[in-house]
Homo-oligomer: A and B are copies of this chain.
Amino acid sequence: MKDISLYVGIGAGIFTAVSLLPQLVKIIKTKKSEDISFFMLFILLAGVACWIWYGFLKQDYPIIVKNLFSLLVNMLIIVFSLLYKKK
């Protein structure tokens, strides 16, 4: 049972960490971001930052690495969204 949960946990972590990547690619390709909620991006940023803090407190390096990656993609989405935001 332990083996299955390890793999399911790794899969869950990878899926949630990379999920923002296609959104980043789409924004860069279409140069459009109006329909994306900034509020969502900032709440997610706060959540991911808390997970990194949690990872440091627990010295859990997979949590730190996974969430640093999400933090980076999230910040890039915010930067490109601002760049392409309709004036």
Binding site for B on A (CB under 8 A): 1, 4-5, 8-9, 11-23, 25-27, 30, 32-37, 39-40, 43-44, 46-48, 50-51, 53-54, 57-58
Contacts and interface: CB of A to CB of B under 8 A. Distances in A.
A54 B58 CA distance: 20
Contacts of A34: 32, 35
A13 B16 CA distance: 13
A65 to B, nearest CB: 15
Contacts of A11: 47, 50
B47 A16 contact: yes
Contacts of A17: 47
Contact of A36 (B13, B35, B43): B35
